[in-house]
């Protein structure tokens, strides 16, 4: 399976962009019949402003019609560049949940850059996003197009929280740490994306602490190296273990630092009650990573896990929660703390909230004067924070 699909020869170079043409829609939701996609449709049905022009899109008209959404239906297969172009040029913002993004996402980004359509997704596939940076960042930045991956639980709370701590402490900020507690479930699309990185060899680049920061040439500081064992943190007076999403979130925060011209060290951990629990969680993580390097064991994991299009029960999604405690320090000894928390399964309810509010921010709110392949904090900033607080998310700094 190819990690990055070949694109038609007309991509970027030969197709015209549409800088001034009116758009039929403010936001199009692509992948609307998948497990996460169906949740985005429900979110827009409940929360989108009455005058918002939105549509749903995917490859199967019957499944899209079965959603009974109060929105027009658009059809395109994720492998059909011409069909994708026909959707993208009609909207101001494209929201997509169709992963693995390294398999299905490149054509959408390619089209968005050519047609100057803003873009959000929920990928955690950092090697794929590095390819986007190398291929599309310069053109998107020059033409004012905002391509913003990582708009789910990975990595909106981490990215916004780290930047808020840095803002509170100022340019003397030297280190920001995050300690995460959560409860939730796993959907099949998330697992499929992870397995794809192992099967394509992209996992090697995934381990690079600066994979999303090609302009950063210094060696990683000790605190920036991915944790592998249980440890006690004296600042927070708590036991910690490696957090499964830290290898995504830390890279996103470091890209934000590079884009904003700051250079504090960032790391995050799972917060655990005691040494035994931290050691158990760290050991499980090492076993899981080792297993994923074996094709036979990956097949076994796939067989016992949810398939793409499947996920946790409604009860699991409704009763989940997360809480991230941030701690920052400066070169002159000052410290600051903050909290980001919310109710709902982080990988589903919170991810959908973050993604949909990111798209609504692009469509409706004032934005930072910045374009290119961005992060949630650098592309959406205070406007997204304001919208998330209005939904009930705690962002307390």
Render pLDDT for 123-145 as a digit per residue (tens, 0 to 9): 999 999 999 999 999 999 999 99
- Predicted confidence (pLDDT) at residue 309 exceeds the cutoff of 80: no
- Predicted confidence (pLDDT) at residue 13 exceeds the cutoff of 80: no
Chain mean pLDDT for the chain? 92
User: How much of the chain exceeds pLDDT 90, in percent?
Assistant: 80
Three-state secondary structure call for residue 157: helix
Structure confidence at residue 327 as a pLDDT band (50, 70, 90): very high
- Predicted confidence (pLDDT) at residue 205 exceeds the cutoff of 90: no
- Predicted confidence (pLDDT) at residue 166 exceeds the cutoff of 70: yes
| pTM for the whole structure | 0.92
pLDDT in tens, 351-372: 999 999 999 999 999 999 999 9
pLDDT of residue 293: 83
pLDDT of residue 288: 86
pLDDT of residue 144: 97
**For 237-242, what is the mean pLDDT?**
97
- Predicted confidence (pLDDT) at residue 334 exceeds the cutoff of 90: yes
């Amino acid at each position: 399976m190819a990690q990055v699909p070949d694109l038609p020869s007309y991509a970027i170079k030969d197709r015209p962009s549409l800088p001034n043409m009116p758009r039929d829609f403010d936001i199009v939701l692509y992948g609307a019949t998948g497990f996460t996609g169906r949740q985005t449709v429900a979110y827009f049905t409940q929360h989108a402003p009455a005058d918002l022009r939105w549509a749903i899109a995917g490859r199967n008209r019957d499944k899209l019609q079965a959603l009974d959404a109060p929105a027009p239906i658009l059809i395109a297969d994720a492998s059909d560049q011409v069909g994708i172009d026909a959707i993208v040029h009609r909207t101001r913002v494209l929201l997509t949940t169709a992963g693995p993004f390294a398999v299905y996402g490149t054509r959408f980004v390619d089209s968005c850059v050519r047609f100057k359509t803003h873009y959000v997704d929920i990928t955690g596939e950092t090697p794929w996003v590095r390819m986007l940076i190398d291929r599309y960042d310069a053109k998107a930045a020059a033409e004012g197009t905002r391509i913003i991956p990582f708009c789910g639980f990975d990595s909106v709370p981490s990215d916004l929280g780290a930047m808020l701590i840095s803002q509170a402490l100022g340019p003397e900020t030297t280190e920001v740490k995050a300690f995460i507690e959560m409860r939730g479930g796993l959907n099949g699309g998330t697992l499929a994306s992870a397995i794809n990185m192992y099967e394509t060899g992209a996992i090697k680049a995934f381990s690079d602490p600066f994979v999303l920061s090609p302009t950063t040439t210094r060696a990683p500081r000790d605190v920036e190296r991915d944790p592998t064992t249980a440890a006690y943190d004296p600042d927070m007076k708590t036991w910690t273990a490696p957090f499964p999403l830290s290898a995504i979130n830390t890279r996103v925060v470091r890209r934000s630092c590079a884009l904003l011209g700051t250079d504090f060290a960032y790391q995050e951990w799972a917060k655990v009650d005691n040494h035994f629990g931290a050691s158990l969680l760290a050991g499980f993580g090492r076993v899981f990573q080792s297993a994923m390097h074996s094709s036979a064991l990956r097949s076994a994991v796939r067989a016992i896990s949810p398939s793409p299009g499947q996920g946790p029960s409604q009860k699991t999604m409704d009763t989940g929660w997360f809480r991230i405690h941030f701690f920052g320090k400066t070169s002159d000894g000052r410290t600051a703390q903050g909290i980001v928390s919310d109710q709902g399964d982080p990988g589903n309810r919170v991810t959908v909230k973050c993604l949909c509010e990111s798209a609504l921010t692009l469509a409706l709110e004032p934005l930072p004067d910045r374009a290119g392949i961005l992060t949630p904090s650098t592309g959406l900033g205070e406007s997204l924070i304001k919208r998330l607080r209005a939904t009930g998310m705690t962002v307390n700094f």
